[in-house]
Structure formats: C-alpha cells, structure tokens
C-alpha cells in the first residue's frame, strides 16, 4: 500500500517541519487568521458579518469555533459582496443553479491563482489512482476555460498522462467507440452516469476500464459494488464542490474514505442543530473554510453534506486525517413517525439490482413512498417488484406505504437530472377528488 500522494504534496507546499497533526493544525490556524483578516478587510459580506468580532481574540482553533457560519443562501443573495478582488482579476465565474428557479443562482468567482491551486490539487490527487501509461476519459463538462474538465486535463498533462475530456455522458455509442479507439483505461465521471455506462456496456469494463474516479455526487456502496465487478475495477471517490474550488479530498488505495486538501481547506464537522463541533467518529454536517482563496474566500461554509471523521489511522499509513465517504445531503431525508427515510437507504436497496437503470423517489407526509424505476428492457419486472417490496418493507419495518411503478429504459435516462444530482423529493400528497 502506498501512502497517499497528498501527504508529500501537503508537506512540500506547507513546509511543515514534521509529519504531525499538530504541525498541520498550527499551519491551518495561521492561515485561518490570515483569511479572517483578509476577508473582513476586502469583502463587503465579511466586513459586515465579522463587524462585532475582534480578530485579535482568535488565537486558537477553539476560538475559531465562535466565528459565524456562511450559508449557501448568503451567496445566492449577494455573491458580489463576497468578492475580494477587482473584476478584472476574476478569471472564471461559475454559476450554479441547483433548483432550476431563476434568481436562485449562486455565483462563485476564481482568480488565476485560485484556479492554479485547483490544478495543483488535481495533479497530486489524480496520482492516487493514475500512473504513467494510463489513459483517462473525463465524463464531466470541460469545454470552457476553467471548467472542471479543463482543469483536470491541465493537471494530468503536468504528469504526462493522456486525457480525453468528453463532457457529460449523452451518447453511449460514441463514448464506447472512443474508449475502444483511444485505449482508455480510467474514467472520471458522475456516479449514476458511470454506473449506467457499465450496465449498458459491460464489455468495456471487462476489456478496458480498470479504474474509475467518481465525483460531484455522493456515492452509495451498492453503486461501488456494481462498478468494481468483484474487484477487477478499482473505484475511487472524490469529494468536492465548486465552492471548495471543485476539489476537496480523494481516496487513497485503501478506498476507505478521503484524505483532504488540508493545505487549502480547513474542514470541521458540526452538529447541525447546535452548531457545535461533533467528536471524531460522530456524524454531522461538513463545514469548510478556504485558506488561500483570493477572489472569494469562504469562512465556515455549510455544505449540507453528512459525513464523519474516521478515528482509526488509514491503512496507507499517512498522518493526514481521513473523512469517511459522504453519506448524502441533509435535505434528502425525511422523518416519518420516528423513522428516518434517507435517500441513501433507498439507494443501498434499489441500486443492488442491475436491472434498475435509474430511479426517482418521492416521499409524502402521509407516510407514503412512491418509487419510479427506469428498468432495462430485459428486466423481469414481476420478480423485481416482489423483491423490492420485500426489501424496502423489511428495512422500514412497514411504516411506509409503498408504491412502485416501472418504465422501460428508452435510452434517455442517462441524461436525466436525477442521474446528475439525485434527490429525495419530499412533498404533500396530492388530494384527488
């Protein structure tokens, strides 16, 4: 087992005197103090937000816990108020719109140096899985300057690794032909899209694909099981979001949680109810602070992702922390009569069946769950229906009224929104008269 390449990278970039958590925390504290002062001085938002905070009183990581959180809605309302540089220094603006409603966009700004830091992280992060001679296909957007695919390609070039940036999976046949012709052996993509490709074209995974890096959405264990095909394909998870500068952490060969980009980001896990830090090993909401960001530093930014820090040292032997794979988003959960229904629980049951190409789930307050499955043309629908009713009923101990409907895959499901960012739809039951 090789130590995660992020370890040497972080030591080199931070000039830490020794490999220890204490030394790294001291480095991060210094950077946090700098970020607080910089953001308060340069951005309208933090100038107002930190008005009452005496920055000289922040001298430890414990003190840092008094700093108020930044919420995604803060960026929605005043993205420009976060800017710390003049407009001509901004090299890339990413507009995120998760709800699809106009006026609900989040804008994230990056300078040239901000993008350079991401490329640097991608270069060393990708070394967790690729080596010379590998050929990578990126099934993520990459046509514009500073997009995730563009930065990934630049990062791989620095390690002399060939890379084809294809964009999102739309045309299965085109992607399959490209993998064959170019001798691709590694794919970077969105979890449900890569799963779909592997179910539609299993021969590609038998003959060519040895490694996969999944990104942009949380990854259910059942999906990793399908893709790894009894261990013949290694499935790595990457954790990141645009606000982090795309990248946040990546798994080492142990495939047991991410090591984090700790020279650029400071991670905390909090109890979303009280806002206090949870102990290592306990689940909570991931919160991060950028340490070097120029255009738009973010301080204690609430991600909405649920995860925990692993208490045992990683098998690769690194001194870096390990964060267990994110379990999903807080909003994808509903409480019905004391039973939590979480999208992850449904995923672990439903994605076990290879006949299921995609699905969406809607949960109603009247303890009813409706699941709409997109199934392969060859599926035995009756058998699948019976198995799913039993498995879901057993898991939720009958508290849910369950209905399932089926739609045969017509080849269009690979581009649905549910595959890109999956959601548990929560709403009131329609009353039909």
The residues of the shown chain that bind Zn ion, judged by CB under 5 A, are 4, 252, 254, 314, 316
Give the DSSP letter of residue 309: B
Of 290, 283, 376, which Cα lies nearest the Cα of 326?
283
Distance CA 165, CA 143 (A): 8
DSSP H/E element including 242: none
What's the Rg (C-alpha) of the chain? 22
Q: How far is the CB of 17 from Zn ion (least distance, A)?
A: 22
Q: How far is the CB of 390 from Zn ion (least distance, A)?
A: 38
Distance CA 409, CA 407 (A): 6
Of 340, 345, 429, which Cα lies nearest the Cα of 388?
345
Q: Which residue number, 256 or 385, has a Cβ lying nearer to Zn ion?
A: 256
Measured from the Cβ of residue 303, the count of other Cβ atoms closer than 10 Å reads 20
Q: Which residue number, 4 or 70, has a Cβ lying nearer to Zn ion?
A: 4
Q: How far is the CB of 132 from Zn ion (least distance, A)?
A: 22
Q: Nearest 5°: phi and psi at 54?
A: -85, 105
Q: Which residue number, 2 or 407, has a Cβ lying nearer to Zn ion?
A: 2
Q: How far is the CB of 375 from Zn ion (least distance, A)?
A: 38
Q: How far is the CB of 251 from Zn ion (least distance, A)?
A: 7
Q: How far is the CB of 190 from Zn ion (least distance, A)?
A: 24
Q: How far is the CB of 391 from Zn ion (least distance, A)?
A: 33
Distance CA 368, CA 428 (A): 10
Q: Which residue number, 175 or 314, has a Cβ lying nearer to Zn ion?
A: 314
**CA quadruple 327, 329, 330, 335: dihedral sign:** negative
Burial 92-118 (b: 16+ CB within 10 A, else e): bebebeeeeeeeeebbbbbbeebbebb
Q: Which residue number, 295 or 314, has a Cβ lying nearer to Zn ion?
A: 314
Q: Which residue number, 166 or 325, has a Cβ lying nearer to Zn ion?
A: 325
Strands 234-239 and 249-251: antiparallel
Q: Which residue number, 250 or 357, has a Cβ lying nearer to Zn ion?
A: 250
Q: How far is the CB of 6 from Zn ion (least distance, A)?
A: 9
Contact in structure between 143 and 166 (CB atoms under 8 Å): no
Q: Which residue number, 252 or 404, has a Cβ lying nearer to Zn ion?
A: 252
Distances (CA, A) of 94 to 1, 56, 97, 146: 37, 34, 10, 9
């Amino acid at each position: 087992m090789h130590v995660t390449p992020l370890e040497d990278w972080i030591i080199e970039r931070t000039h830490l005197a020794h490999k220890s958590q204490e030394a790294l925390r001291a480095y991060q504290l210094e950077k946090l103090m700098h970020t607080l002062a910089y953001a308060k001085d340069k951005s309208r938002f933090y100038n107002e937000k930190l008005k009452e905070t005496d920055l000289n009183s922040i001298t430890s990581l414990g003190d840092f816990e008094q700093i108020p959180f930044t919420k995604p809605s803060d960026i929605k309302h005043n993205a420009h108020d976060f800017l710390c540089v003049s407009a001509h220094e901004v090299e890339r603006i990413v507009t995120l719109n998760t709800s699809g409603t106009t006026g609900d966009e989040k804008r994230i700004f990056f300078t040239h140096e901000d993008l350079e830091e991401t490329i640097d992280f991608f270069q060393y992060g990708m070394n967790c899985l690729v080596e010379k001679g590998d050929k990578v296909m990126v099934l993520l957007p990459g046509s514009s300057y500073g997009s995730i695919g563009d930065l990934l390609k630049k990062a791989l070039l620095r390690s002399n690794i060939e890379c084809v940036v294809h964009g999102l999976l739309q045309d299965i046949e085109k992607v399959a032909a490209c993998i064959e012709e170019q001798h691709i052996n590694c794919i970077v993509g969105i979890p449900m899209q890569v799963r779909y490709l592997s179910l539609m074209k299993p021969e590609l995974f038998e003959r060519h694909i040895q490694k996969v890096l999944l990104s942009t959405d949380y990854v259910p264990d059942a999906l990793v099981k399908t893709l790894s095909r009894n261990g013949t394909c290694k499935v790595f998870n990457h954790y990141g979001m645009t606000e982090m500068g795309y990248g946040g952490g990546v798994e080492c060969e142990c495939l047991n949680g991410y090591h984090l980009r700790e020279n650029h980001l400071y991670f905390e896990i909090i109890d979303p109810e009280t806002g206090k830090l949870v102990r290592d090993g306990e689940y909570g909401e991931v919160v991060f602070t950028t340490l070097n960001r120029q255009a738009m530093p973010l301080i204690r930014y609430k991600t909405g992702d649920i995860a925990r820090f692993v208490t045992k040292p990683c098998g690769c032997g690194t001194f870096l922390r390990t964060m267990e794979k994110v379990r999903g988003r807080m909003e994808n959960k509903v409480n019905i009569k004391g039973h939590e229904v979480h999208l992850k629980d449904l995923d672990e049951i439903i994605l076990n069946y290879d006949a299921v190409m995609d699905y969406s789930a809607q949960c109603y307050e009247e303890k009813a769950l409706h699941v709409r499955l997109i199934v392969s043309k060859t599926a035995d629908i009756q058998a699948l229906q019976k198995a799913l009713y039993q498995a879901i009923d057993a898991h939720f101990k009958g508290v849910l009224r369950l209905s399932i409907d089926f739609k045969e895959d017509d080849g269009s499901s690979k581009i649905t929104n549910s595959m890109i960012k999956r959601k548990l739809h929560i709403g009131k039951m329609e009353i039909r008269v």
